[in-house]
Structure 1
Amino acid sequence: MNPSDVPNEGTEPDVGGIAVVPAKNSPSIEATVAALRRIRGVTRVVVVDDGSTDDTGVRALAAGAEVLALPVNRGKGAALGEAVLAHPDAPWYLLADADLAETAEHLTALVERLLVGDEELVVARFPPAGTQAGAGRIKALSAAAIRSTTGVEVLEPLSGQRAIDGATLRSLHPAPRFGVEVGMSIDALRAGARLAEVSLPLDHDHTGRGWAGRRHRIRQGIDIVRTVWPRLGTPRLRLAVVLALSVVAIVASVGLGKATRWHGEALPAPSAKPRVILVTIAGAGMDLLEDPRAPAISSLARSSATASVSTRVPAPPGDLASQHASLGAGAPVALVVPGGDLEFGEAEGLTNESPATAAGPVKVQALPDGSAQVIDPLTVSDDSRSYGTRGLLGDSIRRDGGRVGYVWAGKGRAQLANGAAAVADDGGTIDTVDIAGVGDDPDAAARRYVDLDADLILVETRRSALTPSTLAVSDVDRVVAAIDAHRRPTDTLIVLGLGHDARWHLSPLILSEPGLRGTLGSDSTRRQGIMTMGDVSATVLNRLDRPRPKGLGGAVARIERGAPDIGALVDLDRRVDQRERSYAPTVTIFIVIQALAYIIAPLVARRSGRSSQLPGVLVAVTLGSAAFPVLTFLWRLMPVSLQGPFVTIPALTMLCAAAALLAMQARRFGLSPLNAVAGVTLAVMVVDASLGAPLQQISLLGYSPVTAARFYGLGNMAFAVLGACAVIVAASWLHAATDRRAAFVAVAGMFALVVVVDAAPMLGADFGGVLTFVPAFGLLLAAWSPITWNRRNVALAVLVGLVGFAVAVGVALKLGSGTHLDTVTNGGWDGFTEIVRRKVATNLRVMRLTVWSWMVPIAAFFLLLSLTTSGTWRERFRGATDLRTGLMGLFVVGFLGGAVNDSGIVIPALALVYIGAFLMLVQVRKPFEAPEVRLPEDASPPIKPAPAVSG
């Protein structure tokens, strides 16, 4: 400023400045306003009522100030931005804290120095506060930050009492909250402004050294670190650091995924004259391995290779015909009555527990050449979950001269020969049978069984006392012990439980060979101790040294050598049962609670009007709901005894409430609470996927061995949560960014990390997620990019996207042998269309059955009413274009993900959980809407504020 611009004594300046006072619950506001009004040159005092819960705004207005009332606390940075927007032509601004009271009149010296000096920024220095102040660490940190970034030494870096040239202030991007002073100093000095400090006899309310003061300084320190960090170094250096960190994160995740993926050791080569005796025990669960009535089986499990098996079949529990047919197909098979849709277990007069004299669904008839023919009245269901080919195991053995045999090891002659469906070829032929039953001498019966002339001998037993044809547990144990005692040294003995009476249980598997001891797993599950029915079929062929035919699913068992932990396997089974019993009631209550919040919120908003806020409990409910997914994953860490519904439901409810209260402490900008929840969720899921996804297995929103088709990586519900949280974090990052270029690169790197974590075969192994994430993230980056989108740039972007997608597919095919993508590509066009057909059928079935379907109409009701209660879309997201774009991205991720994945409505329903929390915060807190302007009686109307503010 030139000296000639300074007003003479006793005169008013031609164009005065604006005094700005951010205030929240200030008891000294009247005195501060009165003192500022006495400063020559100040033509208007603007108090920004920053979400006060008392009458601060009313008292400021009565004292003669213009009041800009913000509906929610946004911090000093945003308050200053609103004042500048309201008065964008002021030649200079005087910034003052609300607690100066009468001493604010001394700020006259700052105005005079600004008007007569050469500086564009003049800062007041306070007198020493003694013991009333803190230890000075935050002040020293701030001074060091300014010095390291600008080379200028300042003594009062945190002072909010400042006079600043109008053009200079309007050229700056206000830092958020308590970082505003440090950010202003750094940005102004870097832009070429000159700074002066003036000592003044000011006084204000000191925070002291108590807990309240410490908490204030902690928040202040966090805000200052957030402010300084993006201002360190040069723009190029920051871009290089962001790129390097993105690459490091991706490489680290892939490296950890490779290191933590369970591989196990391949089984030894089969013997010179291989033979397999496969004993199936109907109704057997994992508890059989610890049953005192079965000492031989328990001992065999501890001395052999042991695992639990997911016998997931789309048929009722106890359907032995479908269970054995699935074993023979190496993939799920559901048998139904021809000409109808009834499954075997539902067909009238056909049950697995029919009396021994009744006609069963599967019979064996002897043929003249000594072989036998399987006769049954059932056909394979056309259910999309039933896709196995019956007789594939028998065909594979009999194709080159091999032989299969079937044994009924029950009381009396077999009437229900369901086990024959596992070894018969596609024509129903079995080479040799023994259906006479065990009789009174299990030892003699076992000698007969092991003497059968067959490469694969299936011995069917039943652990039950419900019918005369079945054996007691002790009798089954005696049969297994006798077979083990009389088998040849080169025989492989496999004991497998099938057809558990309850749906939510795993089945035991014991594989006994000389020198083989440990815990089994497979590449199908990538989990130690868990195998699938297809794995059992593939392992049988492997022990017989025969190739696996196309269409037979699963993978050959692998072994982790050592003593099998039977207790851990039984605990795993109990955890599965607890998860399944907890899932439906927990998710139902979760959805009902959200429904109540969504129904109440728009109705209350319509009735309350602009000035009131909805109860904080509504925000807490939706924030707690957004935290629910990650809490279900973390709850997986708790002991199995706490996984039942009577503990899980109240515990998760309390944890969601606690998470909501913690999240609501985040105050950097309007959506900070949701961003905090999304950030924690995103971090947990990325780390979990990099460590082999242990939190996904048997968690409520993960996958369960008895219901899901997946055993490793990220499930569809986790994919929806991961994508939604990535979009929220990205939008928030850009909205709050000071260095937009570096933030844009960081967001692109984060999106790349999420795609890799979701799709990489050694991590999430969910290549279907790429079909959602690549286009959704690409559209978001295009919307956020500073690039001008002409035809040339659009064509180039599409080309880059296609090339990137092709590279991703190629890499996944190279690294992902045995993955879902590998299955799709190896099946050709017919295989692809069949998979599409199954996915469509699955989506329609899930939509009819899942409780998640309730979320869509409930959320739609909330969205419709909330968008019609008050304000326009642009008004609600005033100055928050990045967040508005992010909200659109949430819709794209949710509904595109639901279209291309086979969980159907569940994916958009989970996305709506985050969309609902997003809109609830916007509707209740109104974090971006223009402030309400209140003028004193002697004031002229202010200039209309511009439609943008941040910070």
Structure 2
Amino acid sequence: MTRRARLCLAGLFSSLLVTLLSVLLPGATAVAAGETTGTTGGTIGASTGGSNPIILIGTGGLTWSDVSPKDTPALWSFLRDGSTAALSVRSVFPNTCPVDGWLSLSAGNRAAAPGKAQDGSRANTDPCPPIPEVSSGVVPGWNTYVKAARDLKFDSTLGTLGEQLASNRQCVQAVGPGAGVGAAYLSGAVPRYAAFDPQQLTGLLSRCRVTLVDVGSLRDPRDLPTGEVPTQPGTRQAQAIAIDRRIGAVLAAAPSGSDLVVASLSDAGASERLRLVAAKGPRFGSGTLYSPSTRQDGLVQSPDLTVTALNAAGVPIPSTLGGFPLRRGTAGANSEAAAQDRLMHLLDFDQASHEVHPLVPPFFNAVVLAQIAIYLLAAIVWRRDFGSIEQRLRLLSITRRVAVVAAAIPASTFLANLIPWWRFPIPMLAAVLSVGLFVAVISAIALLGPWARRLTGPMVVVALATMVVLGGDVMLGSHLQISSLMGLQPVVGGRFYGMGNVTFALFATAALLLCIAVSNHYVRQGNPRAGAAAALAIGLVAVVVDGYPGWGADGGGPPALLPGLVYLVLAILGIKMTWRRGALVAAGTVALFLLVGFLDSLRGPENQSHLGRFFRSIFTGGAGDIIVRKLQQNLDVLFGNYPLALLVPIALVFVIVILARPTSWGSRSLQRSYEACPTLRPGLIALLITLTIGFAINDSGVAIPANGAIIAIPLIIAVSVRALEDEARESATTRASRRG
């Protein structure tokens, strides 16, 4: 390796290191100096919970749309006087049964009762297993649940809640069958159990610091899986009224000074959606509930409930738990009008997530069909002998404009959430029109400005708009991503903030395309060093936004983006990538990833992302299960019931062959673009490196190259077609001069 290459590589990683340290180190050093931001799960240590007893009232199937002042006065009192949020109850399977909700509460992580399938899985059409009634102080079939949790590899230990309380000399009282499952010890034993009896609640609720109460679950008769016999009589409304009466009985019997939390732990039938959670008492005034696990005010997840109970009891919180103690978020008035406003906000969370979920598959199918149509149109216009010069120019112009419009769709799907489309009578139509509005705005800016006459002008506008929208959103709290067509789905419960696979694919692709266009400007002026510096600056911004735990919090993104960025910078400088240099780049990337994880693990628990928790799991156990689970998810997508997913690795290999052999068939049409834009080919190789690594190291990584192509290929086509337009005009001018 030459001295110049060594210095260049060292400079690249030094720049990355300095940038990351400047962002991460202040939070890490504060923690190292003994400064903490709160006490939550994810770390082993004493909780700062007060002496107030906590009563967790568990139900199921209820959503905020079931709550009203007349029919459910007990729940309405929580909404008016307490802190409220929408609750993601996703456990293991898409449909969360009542027993799954209580098992997840017991483990503090995802858990579920096994289904009747050979592998223990369960379809939405399968009836829910019943909740076992505690017999002789033990949960019947407990070992079956423990084996299912172990096989699922979610690092879930059933009995964590009860065992952690007991081992720290705190008792837990269980009232009702579901509460017995939630309060069980590791062995399945439930020393303090009683059936639900409103007349006996007063004495029961004052026995222990933590009390779990099962008031029954709502099962919607219009949404029950095939073969499930209704266990609760009456309509949905009648069941909600009956559950509210039991909640009212618990409120009346609760000791003075208690904190009460009511949570709908499961779905009402085959349909999955967000549920309700509310808390009131000395620590929960009127307003919203907040949890650092979601970083979304008014949106929390099931594992937070287990940690909240442990925190209230003042016991250490195991590092394996993924939740955080619930706390009051935004304060509000305890008036009827304020309660109505909070209810509208909570209904927005639920309605948006419910309405967008069925729209995602047809949306992506439509995008795929549109992409195929663009490819066919591009294949036609790439033919030299198609029509006259005028016809060819007209068709080239149409193709270029269509490609730019298509590339503007991803950013527009996020901006569409600025409009409450889910409130309209026909949500699908409103969503399409909202996306179309922002597509028109971005496309107009890209195609009608003075930069539109430049080869890479429209690409700069669309790529920059995509970077600003996605990057700005994660920096400001990821609000546009929640329940968007290409963003995060809270009902699935995988991510609630930062960059998931789809967002990373779009963001990283846009960043590299912007690097290509900006560096090309300087390279064509004969200043490759300035071009490399510009690409490096853009790439560093993208890496930090994607990897910083407080923003993108993406563990698999920087290891994929960094090698592509380094390759592009070296290529601009004319330094050839060898196997040795590639190994150094890979080693440096891994080292930076581990360093970021280490620094994140030093931050306050509330500020940690999954990067820091994963780094801790390397030493405390559980990292192997995480890696195996992610690999299994990738393989399930690749070889499961998605035949088109197999085309992704095949397409990647095909593109690699084409880019590796510039004179091969398929890249000849791009050759004119390579000549007009010297950084295009190395930029495409850099993009290919990033998407391939992202595909290999992320769970459901097949989504990364597929979604990267949604923005990359249309913009590449737009650049190529623009080069063909210029060539056609030159040809027309030459012919006219010859005739003259």
Q: Please classify the TM superposition score into its range, dividing by the shorter chain length.
A: 0.7 to 0.9
Q: Does the aligned pair in 1 maintain the 2:290–2:298 contact within 8 Å?
A: yes
1:686 Cα shift?
2.8
Deviations 1:421-449 (A, max 9, x none): 211122211112223x55xxx4x254364
Name the SS of the counterpart of 1:429 in structure 2.
Answer: coil
Alpha-carbon separation, structure 2, partners of 1:451 and 1:821: 41
- The one of 646, 652, 655 equivalent to 2:435 is 652
Letter in 2 for 1:500: D
Separation in structure 1 between the aligned mates of residue 579 and residue 204 of structure 2, nearest angstrom: 76
- Other-structure match for 1:500: 267
Per-residue CA deviations over 1:136-171 (Å, capped at 9, x if unaligned) read xxxxxxxxxxxxxxxxxxxxxxxxxxxxxxxxxxxx
* Structure-2 residue corresponding to 1:893: 690
Question: How far does the alpha carbon of each residue in 1:23-43 deviate from its partner, in whole angstroms, 9 at most, with x for none?
Answer: xxxxxxxxxxxxxxxxxxxxx
Residue 315 (str. 1) matches residue 93 (str. 2): yes
Q: Give the whole-Å Cα distance in 1 for the aligned partners of 2:112 and 2:105.
A: 11
CA distance in 1, matches of 2:579, 2:489: 48
Q: 1:477 aligns with which of 218, 229, 244?
A: 244
- The answer to whether the aligner puts 1:733 opposite 2:510 as a matched pair is no
Contact 1:703–1:715 (CA under 8 A) maintained in structure 2: yes
After the TM superposition, which of the residue ranges 392-401 and 377-386 deviates more from structure 2? Answer: 377-386
Q: Secondary structure at the residue paired with 2:134?
A: strand
Query: Which structure's relative contact order is higher, taking Cα pairs within 8 Å and 6+ residues apart?
Result: 2
Relative to its length, the structure with more helix (as a share) is 2
Superposition pairs for residues 39-438 of structure 1, below 5 Å?
Answer: 270-272=49-51, 274-290=52-68, 292-337=70-115, 340-343=118-121, 351=128, 360=130, 362-366=132-136, 371-375=137-141, 378=145, 379-380=147-148, 386-408=154-176, 417-435=177-195, 437-438=196-197
Distance 1:861 1:929, change over 3 A: farther
Shift of 1:541: 0.6
Q: Distance in 1 between matches of 2:152 and 2:350?
A: 27
The within-5 A match list for 1:598-677 is: 598-603=375-380, 605-606=382-383, 608-609=385-386, 612-613=392-393, 614=395, 616-639=397-420, 640-642=422-424, 644-653=427-436, 655-656=438-439, 659-665=442-448, 666-677=451-462
1:444-489 CA-partner distances (Å, limit 9, x unpaired): 2543642666743332422358546567322222221221122112
Partner Cα distance (1:344, 1:725) in 2: 39
Residues 222-261 of structure 1, C-alpha deviation per residue, up to 9 Å, x if partnerless? xxxxxxxxxxxxxxxxxxxxx99x99999899999xxxxx
- Work out the CA distance in 1 between the residues paired with 2:648 and 2:688: 12
Helix, strand or coil: the match of 1:764? coil
State TM-score, norm by structure 1.
Answer: 0.63
Cα separation, 1, equivalents of 2:593 and 2:321: 30
| Larger displacement relative to structure 2 (455-464 or 756-765) | 455-464
Answer yes or no: is the 8 Å Cα contact 2:520–2:677 preserved in 1: yes
SS at match of 2:717: helix
Describe the shift of the 1:808–1:328 C-alpha distance in structure 2 as closer, same or farther (beyond 3 A).
closer
In the TM superposition, residue 660 of structure 1 has moved relative to its aligned partner by 3.5
Q: Please, which of 814, 829, 839 is the counterpart of residue 630 of structure 2?
A: 839
Secondary structure of 1:891's counterpart equals helix
Tell me, yes or no, if the aligned pair for 2:301 and 2:493 is still in contact at 8 Å. no
| Deviation, structure 1 residue 731 | 0.8
Q: Residues 849, 618 of structure 1: CA spacing in aligned structure 2 closer, same or farther, 3 A cutoff?
A: farther
| Residue identity opposite 1:283 in structure 2 | G
In the TM superposition, what is the alpha-carbon distance from 1:852 to its structure 2 partner? Answer: 8.0
Q: CA deviation at 1:603?
A: 4.7
Report how far residue 669 of structure 1 moved: 2.6
Decide whether aligned partners of structure 1 residues 507 and 916 sit closer, same or farther in structure 2, where only a CA change above 3 A counts.
same
Q: How does 1:800-815 map to 2 (within 5 A)?
A: 808-815=596-603
| Contact 1:492–1:513 (Cα < 8 Å) also in 2 | yes
Matched AA of 2:166: R
User: Post-superposition shift, 1:524?
Assistant: 1.0
1:924 to 2:709 alignment: no
Q: Residue 464 of structure 2 contacts residue 514 of structure 2 at CA under 8 Å; is this kept in 1?
A: yes
Q: Which residue of 2 aligns with 1:588?
A: 365
| 1:773–1:893 contact (8 Å) kept in structure 2 | yes
Residue 315 of structure 2: aligned partner: 546
The Cα RMSD (Å) is 4.0
TM-superposed CA distance for 1:725, in Å, is 0.7
Structure 2 distance, partners of 1:529, 1:294, is: 20
Residue 290 of structure 1: SS of its match in structure 2?
coil
Q: CA 1:447–1:433 in structure 2 vs 1: closer, same or farther (change >3 Å)?
A: same
Tell me, in whole angstroms, the C-alpha distance in 2 between the residues paired with 1:937 and 1:698: 56
Aligned with 1:458: secondary structure? strand
Cα deviation digits, residues 30-62 of structure 1 (max 9, x gap): xxxxxxxxxxxxxxxxxxxxxxxxxxxxxxxxx
User: Secondary structure of 1:555's match?
Assistant: coil
Q: 1:846 to 1:450 in 2, by over 3 A?
A: same
Name the SS for the 2:59 alignment partner: strand
Using the TM superposition, give the Cα deviation of residue 840 of structure 1 relative to its aligned residue in structure 2, in angstroms. Answer: 0.8
**2:704 partner amino acid:** I
Distance 1:842 1:791, change over 3 A: closer
SS at match of 2:288: strand
Would you say the 8 A contact 1:636–1:699 is kept in 2? yes
Decide whether the 8 Å contact of 2:563 with 2:690 is kept in 1. Answer: no
Aligned pairs for 1:809-824 within 5 A: 809-815=597-603, 817=605, 818-824=608-614
- Contact map agreement 1:586 1:649 (CA 8 A) in 2: no
Question: Does residue 763 of structure 1 match 2:559?
Answer: no
Residue type of the alignment partner of 2:544: V
Given candidates 465, 477, 488, the residue that maps to 1:692 is 477
Which 5+ residue runs of structure 1 have no aligned equivalent? 1-242, 257-262, 353-359, 409-416, 940-951
* Partner residue in 1 for 2:297: 528
Distance (whole Å) between structure 2 residues aligned to residue 803 and residue 464 of structure 1: 51
Amino acid at match of 2:278: I
State percent identity of aligned pairs.
24
* Equivalent in 324, 328, 351 of residue 559 of structure 1: 328
Q: Distance in 2 between the 1:938 and 1:673 partners? A: 31
Q: 1:938 to 1:704 in 2, by over 3 A?
A: closer
Q: Which has the larger radius of gyration?
A: 1
Distance (whole Å) between structure 2 residues aligned to residue 711 and residue 498 of structure 1: 18
Query: How far has the Cα of 1:363 moved from its partner?
Result: 3.1
Shift of residue 318 of structure 1?
5.0
Distance 1:445 1:781 in 2: 73
Q: Secondary structure at the match of 1:364?
A: coil
**CA distance in structure 2 between the partners assigned to 1:822 and 1:870 by the alignment:** 43
Structure 1 Cα separation of the partners of residues 477 and 263 of structure 2: 27
**Counterparts of 1:526 and 1:816, CA distance in 2:** 14
**Separation in 2 of the partners of 1:744 and 1:755?**
16
Q: Closer, same or farther in 2 for the Cα pair 1:287/1:711, shift >3 Å?
A: same
- The answer to whether 1:743 aligns with 2:540 is no
Tell me which of 326, 347, 351 is aligned to 1:574. 351
TM-score by length of 2: 0.79
Match of 1:487 in 2: 254
- How far, CA to CA, are the matches of 1:265 and 1:826 in structure 2? 18
Aligned residue pairs total 664
What residue in structure 2 maps to residue 906 of structure 1?
703
Cα deviation code 1:778-825 (max 9, x no counterpart): 111111125588999989978876776665455444447532121222
The question of whether the paired residues in 2 share the 8 Å contact of 1:877 and 1:929 is answered with no
Counterpart contact for 1:505–1:576, Cα < 8 Å: yes
Deviation at 1:521?
1.0
Kindly provide the amino acid, as one letter, of the partner of residue 61 in structure 2: G
The DSSP-based 3-state class of the residue aligned with 2:486 is coil
Task: Decide whether the 8 Å contact of 1:278 with 1:496 is kept in 2.
Answer: yes
